[in-house]
Amino acid sequence: MNSFNNSNDNSVSLTLWELLLKVKLEVNSTGILKSNPLEHLNIGIIYELSRRLKRNSASQKMELIDWQKNPKLANELASKISNNKYEFGIARQTTIQSNGKDRIIYSYRLEDKIVQKIISLVLNEIFDHEFFSESFAYRPNMSIQAGMRLIDQQYQEEKYCLKLDIHKCFNNIDNLKLIQILESKIKHPHFLKIIKKSLNTYTKSDGKKVKHSGIPQGSVHAPILANIYLHHCLDKPLRETYPDIKFYRYADDLLLTTIKEDTNNQINNWIENTLRSQNLSISEKTPNISLELKNGQKFLGYKVRKEQERLVIDIDQSKIIQKILEIGLNTPKHLNNYLRSQLKSTSISKDTHRSWYYMLVELPTLIRRELSTKVKPSSLDTILHEIDSASKPLLRELSSQLLEHQIN
């Protein structure tokens, strides 16, 4: 079965949605992808891909606008990709401060990101249906909120938990093993070739050209590639070996819940050995020891704990407050956006609603206590004003939600 017309036949101009649907239908029908979806890229698909890219800064937005104004660039890109002549550029490397730590950011050419995007979308159509619902990072219609709700819904009688973090996961993924996994489903050599090219890329560091190790960090298709690799090398064998345990993964963050403590210890050893065989390891920063759920476990910005006979998933207040203090000291005007975005992204139940409400009520007192000796009185007044402006509408929203919970 070949879902795509010959690349020389221009009688049919597909949309991106139609292209991805053809991939899905072919994979659903045959279990593999024999055709090359990139053969039918056109300027319309290229523009649609460019519109789907994240544009976090004003310069990125302007770069895209300028690029879209020149249709010749889109035509040339479509031609290079469909004719198997595309070459990836060298990524720029910069270091930023994030949560008090140095973080390396890789910046790719706009054309490279467009190619990475189509690779990502096609790979999603091929592999996403295989993933377990307990793997909820970077997937269509999935989120941290949905994952935390799933943990709550699946809770039964588990008493112990184990949290693990894979050390520098993206950097250490074995690309040869990854390609073998991809080759089990993708049979067209040209599509495989451009994926291999996208993995064999370079960055500039201190003026020197350095080859990326593992999956290129910050690339558009890195999340789906990591999910594919970890599903086949960790999630699937773990499910087969320990079918009765609860196992949740968000990218390289893992959480397991079990009824017996010794089961946790067995699984911990199994995971360490399995990851070691894949050139991966558990981060030393993660205390990979079994904990009682009644004492609580922090996971993805939440705190998971057992309270009597139910599981309570609440916000990690200490983490949020630490960030509020950091923003207050550096850029108080950003407090409003931070509080609103955090409330929206972490408020999933009456427990989180209640915690947010009381935290916001106590926030001015906490700010005074923590910052009164660190900033000038005028600066403290500015921070408190921003907190007050942000908190009032949020408290009204939370009051309404808490009232609904009481009624229901």
Which residue type does 174 have?
D
Q: What digits encode the pLDDT tens for the residues 258-314?
A: 998 888 889 999 999 999 999 999 988 776 677 899 999 999 999 999 988 889 999
Q: What digits encode the pLDDT tens for the residues 103-160?
A: 777 889 999 999 999 999 999 999 999 999 999 999 999 999 999 999 999 998 899 9
Band (256; pLDDT cuts 50, 70, 90): very high
Q: What digits encode the pLDDT tens for the residues 80-113?
A: 999 999 999 998 887 766 655 667 778 899 999 9
Q: What digits encode the pLDDT tens for the residues 50-74?
A: 999 988 778 888 888 999 999 999 9
pLDDT at residue 5, rounded to an integer: 39
- Overall pTM surpassing 0.85 (yes/no): yes
Distance in angstroms (rounded) separating the CA atoms of residues 350 and 402 = 7
Query: Quick check: 383 and 367 in contact, CB under 8 A?
Result: yes
Distance in angstroms (rounded) separating the CA atoms of residues 395 and 404 = 14
Mean pLDDT of 378-390: 92
pLDDT at residue 290, rounded to an integer: 73
pLDDT at residue 306, rounded to an integer: 92
Query: Quick check: 12 and 45 in contact, CB under 8 A?
Result: no
Q: Select from 3.30.70.270, 1.10.10.10, 3.10.20.30, 3.30.830.10 the CATH code of 12-315.
A: 3.30.70.270
In the chain, % of residues over pLDDT 90: 73
pLDDT at residue 100, rounded to an integer: 59
Distance in angstroms (rounded) separating the CA atoms of residues 241 and 222 = 27
pLDDT at 27 over 80: yes
Q: Where in the chain is the domain with CATH 3.30.70.270?
A: 12-315
Distance in angstroms (rounded) separating the CA atoms of residues 86 and 80 = 5
